[in-house]
Amino acid sequence: MSKTDHGVGGLTYDKSKKGWPNEVNIFAALILIILIFEALGQFLPYMNDQSFLFDTNGRFDTIFNEARLKIIILQVAIIGIISLGVTQVIISGGIDLSSGPLVGAAAMIVMSFAQTELVNGNPNPKAVFGDWAFDLPVIVPVIVGLCFGAFIGAINGSLIAFTRIPPFIATLGMFLICRGIAQWWTKGQPVSFPTESFAALGSGMMPVVWFALLAVLFHLVLRYTLYGKHTYAIGSNEDAARMSGINVKRHKVLVYMIASMLAAFAAIILSSKNLTAQTGMGQFYELFAIAMAVIGGVSLTGGRGSIIGTVLGAMVFGVIQSGFTYIKLDAFYQLMAMGAIIISAVVLDQWRQQRGSSRN
């Protein structure tokens, strides 16, 4: 019954057998998938001994194939940013289906405040507003976008917190509303030709930089702040959180606002990267953002998960997508293989977890 660092006595407690953190599994799965692609590259007859990650053609100065490493992260950075928010929503016991359509709507709105006046010397053929909206400082579209995200998130959160309807329904409704907004904004016309300073936000590897910065920020927030602790507590047992005096309603509104602002920020980066905004942008992003989080170990029943896991989950998607192009898999097989890999990744993780505490 001696006072130790980790407990107040009782049973024998063997600290060395604590079991490694969940994230290690996902990392292992990631490595496994990479190895499989490397192996396929070696054995498939039509691959001419190419390597997946290494530079066999001597095109770069490093031993790695830099272009591949970059695209692996680049192509998931934007959904990854959304996934950071979705992770928080899911940990709090909710779900957000509206993030995909929100990207579409936010992109349309943002881009119409980021247009430039002259394109190749001609007047901008896609102008949404009058002259006043041309060549605005880059901060304007960014603020507009974040405010729009905050607004949608506040509605989501308030509906869920105050009327207590299931998050699935609130955000499904918002899904439809955001699609409506996206199409209504310009009656379906794409919005293009942004200013150079706006285009710089998402050009090159900038999406990856944003993703990394935001991931670190929210890792710290979830792990070390009151906001993080309350998010886990609410997801773990909402009644308990309420009875313990946490302001559950206000907290939920905050969580959904942060998630929607992250999605709106993703829309800013996405439209900047593509130099255009279209109503259909962001389709299925909500599903992939959720899938990344879940592959990363976030539990859909709430209370469990981490940003590190989600980032690794995003990497799994990046590797898979690059890998498929690398081995030149047909589109239909890609879909099937993607489905199979998502399932296997989670099965693997589940299986490892169960070994620890093997209730049946």
Partner 1 sequence: MTELGNIILETRDLTKHYGGVHALEGADFTLRKGEHVAIMGDNGAGKSTFVRQITGVEQKTRGDIIFDGKPVNFTGPLDAREAGIEAVFQTLALADHLDVPDNLFLGREKTKWNWLGPFRRLDYKSMREDTLEALQKTGVKIPNIRNTIQNMSGGQRQCVAIARTATFHSKLTIMDEPTAALGVQETAQVENIIRTLKEQGEPLILISHNMRQVFDLMDRVVVFRRGRICANLDIRNEDITGEDVVAYITGAKTQPEYEDAA
Partner 2 sequence: ETIGVSIARFDDNFLTVMRNGMEDYAGGIDGVDLQVEDAVDDVAKQLDQINNFIASGVDAIIVNAVDTSATEAMSQAAASANVPLVYVNREPVNVDTLPDNQAFVASNEIESGTLAAFEACKMLRAAGHAGGAKGYMLMGQLSNQAAVQRSKDVEDVIGMDMCNFITLIDKQTAEWSRDKAQDLMTNWLSSGEEFQVVFANNDEMAIGAIQAMKASGVSMEDVVVVGVDATQDALVAMQAGDLDATVFQDAAGQGQGSVDAALSLARGEDVEQKVYIPFKLVTPANIDDFLSKN
Ligand X SMILES: Nc1ncnc2c1ncn2[C@@H]1O[C@H](COP(=O)(O)OP(=O)(O)OP(=O)(O)O)[C@@H](O)[C@H]1O
* Residue 112 interaction partner, one of partner 1, partner 2, ligand X, none, beta carbon < 5-8 Å per kind: none
Burial (Cβ within 10 Å: 0-12, 13-18, ≥19) of residue 333: exposed
Region of 22-30, 83-91, 277-285, 343-351 interacting with partner 2 (CB under 8 A): 277-285
Q: What are phi and psi of 271, to 5 degrees?
A: -70, -30
Tokens encoding 182: 């996206």
Across 214-230, b (16+ Cβ under 10 Å) vs e yields: bbeebbebbeeeeebeb
Q: Please pick, from the candidates 88, 231, 279, 310, the single residue that binds partner 2 as defined by CB under 8 A.
A: 279
Q: Does 252 bind partner 2 (CB under 8 A)?
A: no
Binding-site size for its own copies (CB under 8 A) equals 49
Smallest CA-to-CA distance from 100 within 241, 280, 240 is with 280
Q: What are phi and psi of 261, to 5 degrees?
A: -65, -35
Residue number, 9 or 125, with CB nearest to ligand X: 9
Q: Does 156 bind partner 2 (CB under 8 A)?
A: no
Q: Does 1 bind partner 1 (CB under 8 A)?
A: yes
Which residues, at least 6 apart from 76, have a Cβ–Cβ distance to it below 8 Å? 292, 314, 315, 317, 318, 321
* Residues in touch with ligand X (CB under 6 A): 10-11, 357
Q: How many whole angstroms separate alpha carbon 309 and alpha carbon 349?
A: 11
Residue number, 64 or 351, with CB nearest to ligand X: 351
Cβ(241)–Cβ(226) under 8 Å? no
Q: Please report, as residue ranges, which positions from 23 to 82 form the binding site for partner 2 (by CB under 8 A).
A: 46, 50, 57, 59, 65, 67-68, 70-71, 74-75, 78
| Shortest spacing between CB 213 and partner 1, in angstroms | 16
Residues 167-186, one symbol each (x = binds its own copies by CB under 8 A, - = not), give -xxx-xxxxxx-xxx-xx--
Residue corresponding to tokens 């102008």: 127
Q: Does 145 bind partner 2 (CB under 8 A)?
A: no
* Residue 68 interaction partner, one of ligand X, partner 2, its own copies, none, beta carbon < 5-8 Å per kind: partner 2
Residue number, 126 or 242, with CB nearest to partner 1: 242
Q: ∠37-296-300 over CA atoms, to 5°?
A: 135
Q: Please pick, from the candidates 331, 355, 358, 359, the single residue that binds partner 2 as defined by CB under 8 A.
A: 331
| Other beta carbons less than 10 A from residue 62's beta carbon | 10
In the complex, the residues that contact partner 1 under the rule CB under 8 A are 1, 3, 6-19, 221, 224-230, 232-233, 235-237, 239-247, 251, 254, 303-304, 356-360
